[in-house]
Amino acid sequence: MPRFKLTIEYDGTDYVGWQRQANGPSIQGALEDAARAYCQIDALVQGAGRTDAGVHARGQVAHVDLTRDDHPDVVRNALNAHLKPRPISVISAEKVTEAFHARFSANERGYRYLILNRRAPPALDARQVWWVAAPLNVEAMHEAAQVLVGRHDFTTFRAVQCQADSPVKTLDALDVTRDGEMIAVTTRARSFLHHQVRNFVGTLRLVGEGRWTAADVAAALAARDRSAGGPTAPSTGLCLMHVGYPDAS
């Protein structure tokens, strides 16, 4: 059967996450339902990142094997037709070889976390940002973030229920920038631990408020203890922006 690489965006607010689960609607489940309606078969859609409940994506990547060898544009359009009216869109479809695997072929994942930093609450972006009314020092947050870049044991920033074999990861970048009232925390790595980015953001907020320093972040990292880190930021502001691969396959 032909294999297709799908690039997908979605609003994860009303979903239990990427992975199909019995306790509510999932992104994977919606895509598999659309594939079934299109090809009249049960198809497994495998994603590059298992985003949590409420987390969004602009560049999620998945692959699926279909019985129909249609043009990629036809595949994209058919899946989108069957996804309506869900807030899920297949941005592109591309035919790839059986060697391509959305998850295991990936060599980079990039996330962005948005913080709306103003006194007034959001009316239009409430599902896409974390509203923080207290002023935040972005320069201090960025400086503290650099403590976390590199290869470390990230136990302090790992969810207790994380199932990864090892807490050791290499963080390629972690940047904090401001554009008016919006603060963006952007990060890149080959892979991430469960809640790692949200735990980074919750900790960096403490720095932005002046309650922690970069030295406190370094001490928390060295502690290798989840209780030593800051709180977990809510899922609303997190978005999977892109997934990288070593070639264009």
- Kindly report, residue by residue over 203-216, the tens digit of the pLDDT: 999 999 999 999 99
* 3-96 maps to CATH 2.102.10.10: no
Q: Give me the pLDDT at residue 131, please.
A: 98
Catalytic residue IDs: 52
Element at 58 (helix H, strand E): strand 56-65
Q: Apex CA 131: angle with CA 25 and CA 9, to 5°?
A: 40
In this structure, the strands spanning 108-117 and 130-132 are parallel
Question: Residue 177's closest CA among 117, 246, 220, 249?
Answer: 117
Q: What's the DSSP call for residue 147?
A: G
Q: Do domains 3-96 and 108-244 have the same CATH topology?
A: yes
- Kindly report, residue by residue over 49-85, the tens digit of the pLDDT: 999 999 999 999 999 999 999 999 999 999 999 999 9
From CA 25, how far away is CA 161, in angstroms rounded?
21
**Region 22-51 average pLDDT:** 96
- Kindly report, residue by residue over 87-118, the tens digit of the pLDDT: 999 999 999 999 999 999 999 999 999 999 99
Question: 162 near 194, Cβ under 8 Å?
Answer: yes
| 143/248: higher pLDDT | 143
Percent of the chain topping pLDDT 90: 96
Domain at 108-244, CATH from 3.40.640.10, 3.30.70.660, 3.40.50.2300, 3.30.870.10: 3.30.70.660
Structure tokens of 66? Answer: 């279909």
* pLDDT > 90? residue 163: no
Q: Apex CA 154: angle with CA 53 and CA 231, to 5°?
A: 50
From CA 177, how far away is CA 184, in angstroms rounded?
5
Grade residue 160 by pLDDT with cuts at 50, 70 and 90.
confident
* pLDDT > 90? residue 249: no
- pTM, two decimals, is 0.95
Grade residue 32 by pLDDT with cuts at 50, 70 and 90.
very high
Grade residue 247 by pLDDT with cuts at 50, 70 and 90.
confident
**What is the distance in angstroms between the CA of the first residue and the CA of the last residue of the chain?**
17
Domain boundaries, the chain: 3-96, 108-244
Q: What's the DSSP call for residue 64?
A: E
